[in-house]
Each structure stands twice: as structure tokens, then as C-alpha cells.
Structure 1
Amino acid sequence: MKNRDFLDLRELMDEIFEAATDFKNAFTDEMGSWKPDFNWGEHRDYYPAYSYPPTNVYMTADKSLVFQFALAGFQEEHIGLEFRGDYLFFSAKAPEGFEEDESVKYFKRRLKFKDIKEQKYFVPEDKFNREAVKAVLKHAILTVTIPAKDEVKGPEGVKVTIVSEDEPGQAPPKTGKKDKE
């Protein structure tokens, strides 16, 4: 490509692919068979669709499921929690009097006052005791604790009886007693 009046696209693409191959080989040689050891359990976001409000979801040692919602400025009468099927539905109405001022220029904005549409969180009915749920709003943090059921009951199984059919011409199985004639 040097000292030419025109651009040879084929040569340019070859050089790009060659550089990419060289980089891949150098990276592979340097890293060898190393694989990162990530702890996905702690860093994985199981509810990526809900970024507002900031939320913690975790399980305690006694298998209780806990939700913590950061709700600065919200009043408890404007917060909705409801179980439907295998889901906990959460919603909240934004406090009044906090309308956005268009003339304000924010340097940093993390505190928002907006309605929280219905968010659903998986809480299997057969594993958690919905009758013993505790929800506490303290210091603008709503903590919802759902204890595990003492005894997890699955659907009752159906016992299948196995019947042995003798094939024609085959002698019945021996029982260990001598047959009387």
C-alpha cells in the first residue's frame, strides 16, 4: 500500500485480517488454557429489566427470600405488593410535588421520582409461605421477607403398577417350592 496513488482494498483487508490473527495468536499463547474464575452467583443480575428502583434480592441462611427496594420519597400508602400465581408484583406511585424543572442542569442525577410500573418477581407458591410475609418500610428502604415453607409439597405422584405377562410357550417362574403333581 505504500507509495501508491490508489487504495487496494484487497491488500488492506488482508492486512487487517493478518493483524487480527496475529493478535489472537499472541493472546492465546500468552493466556494459554487460563479460564477466568467468575463467581456468577453473586454478580449475575437475575432481573435486568428493572433498573429502577435500586433493588437487592437475596436468600438468607434459613431459605427466606428477601427483596429490598430503595424508595426515597415514597409513602407506604402509594406502594403496592401483591401475589398473583407464582409472582410477587411490586408497583409504586411517585410522590407529588417533585415535578421535573426543565431549567435545572444536573451535574449528577441518581435520585428520581417517577411511577414504578408493575414489576414481577418469581416467588414459587409451593416453596414460600405467603401467609407469613413481612414488609417493612424503614429509612426509605422497603424490605420484603418471604419465609420458606417448612415442608415443600410437590404434586402427588401416581403409582404405576407393573404387571408381568407370560409369553406363550414360556414356563411360569419358579417359586422355589417343589410343584405337587
Structure 2
Amino acid sequence: MTRKLRTADERRDDVVAAALTAFARAGYFGANTTEIAHDAGISQAYLYRLYRNKEELFVACIEAAKQKFVDQVNTIVAQAPGGESVGQALRRAAVTPVPGHAAEAASLMLHAVAAAHIEPIGSAVRECYRSQFDRLIGLGASEHDVRAYLAWSQYANAMRAAGLDAASADARDRSLIPALRDNGSTD
């Protein structure tokens, strides 16, 4: 049996995938690079050959999350019912639970904001939001729609991270989850 060696780029992808999961779960301060290396199937020493430090690895995860957001927006726009504007599609998406990998990316970004006082993490967070804003404007959304989408989706992600969702048995919990009104606005 011949063993195929993986390239450094393939290993970086493995490390980012493992790190994104770890950082989404435990945050920048709680994630452990030894565990990330183990989950990626490499040694911690090799992890530090691929990424000089934990900050550089976290920034790579922010970049991966940004790509997941691009993919998610592409899906939102592509699946928008006929006649629905980009802004309406974004408002609908802001209050809709996000699927697996996008939820992990959203959780990572909550932790990234908490660690934004550390550079270069802060720069990467700002650039992620700037690029989302610019991309959505480029797709035809208004500045108001983009700000509303970013605000509502961030709030909804925070509530989901806290364990709240629209299916909660507690009406007080359900009331904290934003919903789409019949007129297309979020409450």
C-alpha cells in the first residue's frame, strides 16, 4: 500500500478546518493549539511551521469564515423567490437558522469580535465585515438593508449561541429570537 503525502497547503486546510471548529466552540482564548494539531493529524511543532503563532492561525480561520459567508450569501441570492430583492432575501436570511458550517463560522465571528483587541485579529475582523458590506452593496442591497442584515444576523447568532431558538418551550426565550414580519421587515 502506497501512502500519499499531503502538501503543506493541504495540511493548512486540515489545520484551519480543525481550528475553526475549536475556535468556534471555545473561542480564541479557550482553544488549545495542541488539541487543534491533534485533530488535524499533525504535531504541534508542525502546526507552528505552518502558522507562526495562534493569532496567525485565528486570522486564517476568520478568512475561512469569510468565505463561508460568501458561499452563504450566494446561496441566499440564488434561492431567492422570483421578485424578491436582495434586501428582502437578506432580511429573510437574517432570521433563518444558518446551516452547519455557516453556523460554525458565525460562532467563530462572535469569538473573533471578543478577541478583536488583539492585532492582527482586530484588523481581520474589520476587513471581514467591510468585505461583506461591500459585496452585499455590489449585489444590489441598500446600505440600510446591509446594516440591518449584519445587525440582525449577529444578534440571532448570539441568541443561538446562548442556546435560544424559536422552538424553545419558554415563550420568553422565543420572544428573544427575531422573526420576519408579513411586510418583510424584521421585528
TM-score category by the smaller chain?
under 0.3
Q: Which of the pair has more CA radius of gyration?
A: 1
Task: Kindly indicate which of the two structures has a greater share of residues assigned to strand.
Answer: 1
| Larger relative contact order, structure 1 or 2 (CA cutoff 8 Å, min sep 6) | 2
TM-score by length of 2: 0.23
